[in-house]
Amino acid sequence: MSKYILALDQGTTSSRAILFDHDGRPCHVAQQEFRQIFPQSGWVEHDASEIWDSQLAVARQVLRENGVPASEVAALGITNQRETVVLWDRASGEPVANAIVWQDHRSAAFCDSLREQGKGALFQKKTGLVVDAYFSGTKLKWLLDNVPGVRDRAERGELAFGTVDAWLIYKLCGEHVADVSNASRTLLFNIHTMRWDEELLALLDIPASLLPRVVPSSGVVGNTRAELFGAAVPIAGIAGDQQAATFGQACHHPGMAKNTYGTGCFMLMHTGREAIASSNNLLTTVGWQIGDRTDYMLEGSVFNAGAAVQWLRDGLGIIRSSDEVEALATSVPDTGGVHFVPAFSGLGAPYWDAYARGTMVGISRGTTAAHIARATLAAIAYQSADVLEAMQRDAAIGLTELRVDGGAARNDLLMQFQADVLGVPVVRPMVTETTALGAAYLAGLAVGFWHSQAEIGAQWQVQKRFEPAMPEDERHARLADWRRAVSKARDWLQHD
Q: In the predicted model, what is the mean pLDDT of the chain?
A: 93
pLDDT digits (tens, 9 = 90+) for 205-249: 999 999 999 999 999 999 999 999 999 999 999 999 999 999 999
Q: HEC string of the chain?
A: CCCEEEEEEECCCEEEEEEECCCCCEEEEEEEECCCECCCCCCCEECHHHHHHHHHHHHHHHHHHCCCCHHHEEEEEEEECCCCEEEEECCCCCECCCEECCCCCCCHHHHHHHHHCCCHHHHHHHHCCCCCCCCHHHHHHHHHHHCCCHHHHHHCCCEEEECHHHHHHHHHHCCCEEEHHHHCCCCCEECCCCEECHHHHHHHCCCHHHCCEEECCEEEEEECCHHHHCCCCEEEEEEEHHHHHHHHCCCCCCCCEEEEECCCEEEEEEEECCCCCCCCCCEEEEEEEECCEEEEEEEEEECCCHHHHHHHHHHHCCCCCHHHHHHHHHCCCCCCCCEEECCECEECCCCCECCCCCEEECCCCCCCHHHHHHHHHHHHHHHHHHHHHHHHHHHCCCCCCEEEECHHHHCHHHHHHHHHHHCCCEEEECCCCHHHHHHHHHHHHHHCCCCCHHHHHCCCCEEEEECCCCCHHHHHHHHHHHHHHHHHHCCCCCCC
Residue 432 banded pLDDT, cuts 50, 70, 90: confident
pLDDT digits (tens, 9 = 90+) for 95-134: 999 999 998 989 999 999 999 999 999 999 999 998 989 8
Per-residue model confidence (pLDDT) at position 495: 66
Per-residue model confidence (pLDDT) at position 375: 96
**Binding site as annotated, residues:** 12-14, 16, 82-83, 134, 241-242, 263, 306, 310, 407, 411
Say how many C-beta atoms besides its own lie within 10 A of residue 154's C-beta: 22
pLDDT digits (tens, 9 = 90+) for 335-361: 999 999 999 988 888 888 888 999 999
**Phi–psi pair at 285, nearest 5 degrees:** -140, 155
Q: Report the C-alpha gap between 78 and 8 in whole angstroms.
A: 5
pLDDT digits (tens, 9 = 90+) for 270-305: 988 888 888 888 899 999 999 989 999 999 888 888
**Binding site as annotated, residues for ATP:** 12-14, 263, 306, 310, 407
Say how many C-beta atoms besides its own lie within 10 A of residue 334's C-beta: 12
- Tell me the mean pLDDT in the region 475-494: 93
**Phi–psi pair at 122, nearest 5 degrees:** -65, -45
Which residues lie below 8 Å from residue 28, measured CB to CB, with a gap of 6+? Answer: 18, 19, 62, 65, 66, 68
* Percent of the chain scoring above 70 in pLDDT: 99
Give CA angle at 85 (79, 86), nearest 5°. 90
Per-residue model confidence (pLDDT) at position 433: 83
Residue 54 banded pLDDT, cuts 50, 70, 90: very high
496 has pLDDT over 70? no
Per-residue model confidence (pLDDT) at position 200: 97
Q: Report the C-alpha gap between 337 and 112 in whole angstroms.
A: 35
This prediction has a pTM of: 0.85
**Binding site as annotated, residues for sn-glycerol 3-phosphate:** 12, 82-83, 134, 241
Per-residue model confidence (pLDDT) at position 494: 74
Which residues lie below 8 Å from residue 38, measured CB to CB, with a gap of 6+? Answer: 44, 45
Per-residue model confidence (pLDDT) at position 1: 63
Per-residue model confidence (pLDDT) at position 482: 96
- Tell me the mean pLDDT in the region 19-43: 92
pLDDT digits (tens, 9 = 90+) for 127-176: 999 898 989 999 999 999 999 999 999 999 999 999 999 999 999 999 99
pLDDT digits (tens, 9 = 90+) for 378-421: 999 999 999 988 888 887 777 888 999 888 898 999 999 999 99
**Binding site as annotated, residues for glycerol:** 82-83, 134, 241-242
